[in-house]
Amino acid sequence: METGYKTCIRCGRIFFEDAAAPLADGICPDCVIDEALERARRTDAKWDRVSVQLIKARFRPGMRIRLIRMSDDQAPPPGTLGTVRGVDDIGSVLVAWDNGSGLNVIPGEDQIEIIGDDPAFAD
C-alpha cells in the first residue's frame, strides 16, 4: 500500500491513505468504520478488537476535530472544537474539548468531523 490520495471504492470520495496507519486498501476511513459498526451491530457484539484498531488508526492523538452531534445532556454545543487525546480499549475517542469538557465520543452514536492533521479533511 502506498501513501497518497485515492478514490474510495465504496463512496467515491477522495481520501488520503496513510501507509503508516493502514486501513482496508481502497476504502476510505469513514467507510471502514461504517463497516466495522455494521459488523458490530450484526453480531450484536461490543467493539471487537479489529474495530477498536480501526478507530485508533482513524483518530490519532493531536488531531483536531469539530463536534457535529453528541447524544449526551452534558455534551458541548455542536461546532465545539477539540483535540483527540487517544482511543480507549472499547473504542471511545478521548477528546480535550476547547470549552474544557472531557466528554468521550462514541463512534456510531456521536458525530464528529476531522478538521486538521489529515490533508483530505483539512479546511
28 belongs to the binding site for Zn ion (CB under 5 A)? yes
103 belongs to the binding site for Zn ion (CB under 5 A)? no
Element (H, E) at 4: strand 4-7
8 belongs to the binding site for Zn ion (CB under 5 A)? yes
Q: Which of 110, 105, 111, 100 is nearest to 86 (CA)?
A: 105
Angle (deg, nearest 10), helices 29-42 and 49-58: 160
Pick one of 23, 31, 55, 95: the residue that binds Zn ion (CB under 5 A).
31
Query: Which amino acid is it at 21?
Result: A
Q: Of the listed pieces 11-19, 42-50, 69-77, 101-109, which binds Zn ion according to CB under 5 A?
A: 11-19
Q: Of the listed pieces 31-39, 43-51, 57-65, 112-120, which binds Zn ion according to CB under 5 A?
A: 31-39
70 belongs to the binding site for Zn ion (CB under 5 A)? no
Pick one of 1, 11, 21, 50: the residue that binds Zn ion (CB under 5 A).
11
Helices (H) and strands (E) in the chain, counts: 2, 6
Q: Which of 123, 117, 108 is nearest to 83 (CA)?
A: 117
Q: How far is the CB of 72 from Zn ion (least distance, A)?
A: 27
Q: Which is nearer to Zn ion, 15 or 47 (CB)?
A: 15
In the numeric block, the cell 479546511 is attached to: 123
Contact residues toward Zn ion (CB under 5 A) are 8, 10-11, 28, 31
